[in-house]
Amino acid sequence: MVRLIDTHCHLDFSVFDKDRSAILQNCKNLSVQKIIVPGVQAKGWSNLLELCKQELMLYPALGLHPCFMQQHQPDELHRLEDYCQSGELYAIGEIGLDFRFGQACQQEDLKKDQTGREQQLFYFSAQLQLAEQYVLPVLIHAVKSHQDVLARLKQHSSISGIIHAYSGSYEQAVEYLKLGFKLGFGGAYTYPRAKKLRALVSRLPLEAWVLETDAPDMSPESQYGQRNSPEYLPEIARVFVSLYDKPLAAEQILEQLYQNTLSILPKLKNGLKTGLKL
């Protein structure tokens, strides 16, 4: 039996308010068993946690995302620490560095100056410290910043996690793997023109990868220009299998990706969610 986990999906975003339950029902029928929902800014955290309490398939992570720098306040790091202490979180995320200054960084433009960069580094380092202290994996957003991300992860060598929507080089991937990280395989890999990325699948060990949608962003090829959804994780999984060139059955490949996810997010192995009132 195929079992899939979406390791990165913003199902708490309001764009899913109208049909979230239907999507989740559909996911169950499509073998998508678990979904990690990462937070991006503090004002969405309590809603995200509430949603994850209501829906058995959803598992929360909280973090301050590098593309929402103007929303973050330093005291939100204390709130994040309280949540780490409460034991409710499966990871810290989405955190990271995005150095596409001057270009649209998802919802918001970053200022093309050093302030944005320094702020990002401040929040990223502070959240890595929390991950180390509370022994939580991290979900990392790294765009045009792999050298800086790697340098910081090397300062916190006990931390592991996922480099979500991995878009770096082979050499950088090898460095992440040495640090105990996994790489998120998502929609970007479904486009035939993404030749360099797609070549990574067979160059790296199968243990390197986990699956993700990053919904509502990063739609796979069949949904180009449309809202992405965890319902498209099976399409992403099929592309992974088609790119993996070793003689293994699809079920074995996908089971290994499932096990990779449990190994990097170990709290998922517990039967019941923490903080869940039954």
Site residues (CB under 5 A) for Zn ion? 94, 214
37, 60 Cβ separation under 8 angstroms: yes
Residue with smaller CB distance to Zn ion, 107 or 155? 107
Residue with smaller CB distance to Zn ion, 27 or 253? 27
| First vs last C-alpha separation in the chain | 28
Least Å from the CB of residue 214 to Zn ion: 5
Which stretches does DSSP call E strand in the chain? 4-6, 32-38, 58-62, 91-98, 104-105, 108-109, 138-143, 161-164, 182-185, 209-211
Residue with smaller CB distance to Zn ion, 37 or 253? 37
Q: Which residues pair with 37 in a beta bridge?
A: 60
Q: Name residue 2's amino acid.
A: V
Least Å from the CB of residue 221 to Zn ion: 19
Least Å from the CB of residue 201 to Zn ion: 21
Least Å from the CB of residue 10 to Zn ion: 6
Q: What are the b/e assignments for 116-145, b being 16+ CB within 10 Å?
A: bbebbeebbebbbebbbeeebbbbbbbbeb
H/E stretch holding 150 reads helix 146-155
Least Å from the CB of residue 110 to Zn ion: 16
With residues binned 3-state (H G I as helix, E B as strand, rest as coil), the percentages for the chain, rounded to 5, are: 50, 15, 35
Least Å from the CB of residue 38 to Zn ion: 6
Residues in the chain: 278
Residue with smaller CB distance to Zn ion, 12 or 94? 94
Residue with smaller CB distance to Zn ion, 9 or 253? 9
Q: Which residues pair with 164 in a beta bridge?
A: 141
261, 240 Cβ separation under 8 angstroms: no
47: which 2 tokens? Answer: 């809603």
Residue with smaller CB distance to Zn ion, 94 or 235? 94
Least Å from the CB of residue 31 to Zn ion: 22
Helices vs. strands in the chain: H and E counts, helices first: 9, 10
Residue with smaller CB distance to Zn ion, 173 or 215? 215
What three-state secondary structure class fits 35? strand
Least Å from the CB of residue 108 to Zn ion: 14
Residue with smaller CB distance to Zn ion, 12 or 214? 214
